Amino acid sequence: MKDRKSVTIAAGVLLLVPLVLFYFNKSVGVYLLLCVWVLAVVVGYVAYSRKQQEQEKLRLLESFQRAASATLGHHRHDWMNDLQILYGYVQLGKHDKLLSCLDRIRERMAAESKISKLGIPSLVFYLQSFREMNKSVQLEIRIEEELELGKLMDRQAAEELAETIMETIRAFQFGGRSSWGEIIGLTMSIYREGGEVVVRFEQDGNSGNQDTLRRNVEKATRGKRIYAKDAALPKAYELRMPCGNLNEVKACL
């Protein structure tokens, strides 16, 4: 970022010099040389900007690939652990524990399915990779049956909601604990109520700074169509976003 700023300043200076010389010069030959100078600076800066954009896209792609690979590795590790446990129960003939293990796997699969059906790609990826990318928060996710947020709001509103959910989780992550080493438990519930999409956050325990947490939650909703509301419990907040049009409102009811 600093290199790009320095190049921009240098390009501005290189363009300013010929502009000054244009004013004082009266030679046609020098005019042509100055035009070539300006053209070379513009072409060079455009080429540099394009290269920087390509490099930034490459860095973002590599970051996404690393996150996706880590998430898949984490899920694969979980499935391998489950399979080993199931295999052990089969060998030992503990059918009662085998059934309880299968029920736990089924519940986890149902939870993953609900996340994938939300219909907002950025939010789906964030939630599915959360355990791998955020070690300081144990996030429990509860989603209403058959909830598809992508069908209840337009694209801009969906991205606003996804961004606000991420910022609110970060607000709990940094304002809801008393020390850096503390791991907090956070429950997030997403459901429909009264023509609105509601995202409810409830933190386990009472550590952290309540005022800082409230300010960060309110900051996350500033300038958006979402509003934050204190819930009945301490350290519990609700994000509420009205559905966009009549059909969406009916779907929310």
Instruction: Give the residue with greater pLDDT, 144 vs 174.
Output: 144
What type of residue sits at position 131?
A: R
Give strand pairing partners of 190.
143, 199
CA distance 34 to 40: 10
| pLDDT 10s digits, 173-216 | 876 555 566 778 889 999 998 889 999 998 886 666 677 778 88
| pLDDT 10s digits, 110-143 | 888 899 899 898 898 888 888 777 777 888 999 9
Assign 219 a pLDDT band (cuts: 50, 70, 90): confident
What type of residue sits at position 67?
A: A
First to last CA, the chain: 47
Question: Residue 9 is encoded by which pair of tokens?
Answer: 């300043």
Question: Residue 203 is encoded by which pair of tokens?
Answer: 């933190």
Q: What mean pLDDT do residues 97-110 have?
A: 83
**pLDDT score at 246:** 44
- Contact (CB, 8 A) for 101 and 85: yes
Query: Is the pTM higher than 0.85?
Result: no
Assign 150 a pLDDT band (cuts: 50, 70, 90): confident
Q: What mean pLDDT do residues 35-58 have?
A: 81
* Predicted confidence (pLDDT) at residue 15 exceeds the cutoff of 60: yes
User: HSE of 101 in the Cβ direction (CA atoms, 13 Å)?
Assistant: 17
